[in-house]
Amino acid sequence: MSQIDWIKNTIFSHSMDEIYIRKVLSGDVESYRYFIKTYQDMAFSVALSIVKQEHLAEDVVQDAFIKCYQSLSSFKGKSKFSTWFYRIVVHIAFNSIRYKKLTLIDFDLTDHDQAYDESILDEIIDNERREMINDALAILSPKESVALRLFYLEEQSMEEIQEIMGWTLANTKVILHRARKNMQQVLSQLIKKSEYHG
């Protein structure tokens, strides 16, 4: 996606958010589906990077959408809606960890030993890379995992991450730096593990 396309999409998305916020606040409850459809996947991704378990991430997302709906009238538009909403998701996810005192899950990578044609093999390799990255994100601390996910996968700016997470800009940079370094180490270990079992 070119920078111009990205800017157009961002402006379009921002203006659509404003339209639907006005609709919901004026009593059109059905219009809230727009926010669920637009932000559900990203919210799940952010929640999962913090709580590390899919069923808990689903609960976090559901709670975040409820909280967002209840608090929509307090959204002042000082930041993008997505930034405001992801801050709700992050807050609920970290509260979930605190209250449930969750432990991280270790899981094994699956190996593929069958012979496939080249296109299927490429697809498997891409899926394994994606799976390995998700495995690595699951191993990192919740702060590091969500920082990487927001910055690289969701293309949030440093300032947006700072606002979503409630960190200082300096702290955001330090956490991202540490997260990159730890991600590199974890991926290196996972690659060695997959080569050993492969």
Domains (range + CATH), the chain: 1-103 (1.10.1740.10), 108-198 (1.10.10.10)
pLDDT for 14 equals 61
Residue 175 token pair: 């956490």
Query: What is the pTM for the complete model shown?
Result: 0.66
Q: List, for residues 62-80, the tens digit of each pLDDT value.
A: 999 999 999 999 998 888 8
pLDDT for 189 equals 84
Which residue matches tokens 């960190």? 167
More confident residue, 126 or 38: 38
User: What is the Cα 146 distance to its own chain's centre?
Assistant: 6
Give the chain's mean pLDDT.
Answer: 81
Distance (Å, rounded) from C-alpha 160 to C-alpha 99?
A: 26
pLDDT beyond 50 at 17: yes
- Decide: 90 and 102 in contact? Cβ < 8 Å: no
Residue 182's alpha-carbon distances to 8, 145, 146, 176, in angstroms, are 35, 10, 13, 10
Distance (Å, rounded) from C-alpha 54 to C-alpha 37?
A: 18
pLDDT for 145 equals 92
Distance (Å, rounded) from C-alpha 12 to C-alpha 144?
A: 30
Region 20-48: mean pLDDT is 94
Residue 185's alpha-carbon distances to 64, 111, 143, 173, in angstroms, are 32, 21, 17, 19
Q: List, for residues 110-165, the tens digit of each pLDDT value.
A: 333 333 345 555 665 666 777 788 888 889 999 999 999 898 888 889 999 999 99
pLDDT beyond 60 at 198: no
More confident residue, 29 or 197: 29
Region 19-34: mean pLDDT is 94
- DSSP H helices, the chain, are 3-25, 33-51, 54-71, 81-100, 118-139, 142-148, 158-165, 169-197
Region 49-72: mean pLDDT is 94
Distance (Å, rounded) from C-alpha 46 to C-alpha 62?
A: 13
Of 43-52, 74-83, 99-108, 152-161, the poorest mean pLDDT is in 99-108
% the chain with pLDDT above 70: 77
pLDDT beyond 60 at 101: no
pLDDT for 168 equals 94
- Decide: 161 and 147 in contact? Cβ < 8 Å: yes
Which amino acid, residue 112? H
Instruction: Work out whether the CA dihedral 112, 50, 105, 171 comes out positive or negative.
Output: positive
Region 86-108: mean pLDDT is 72
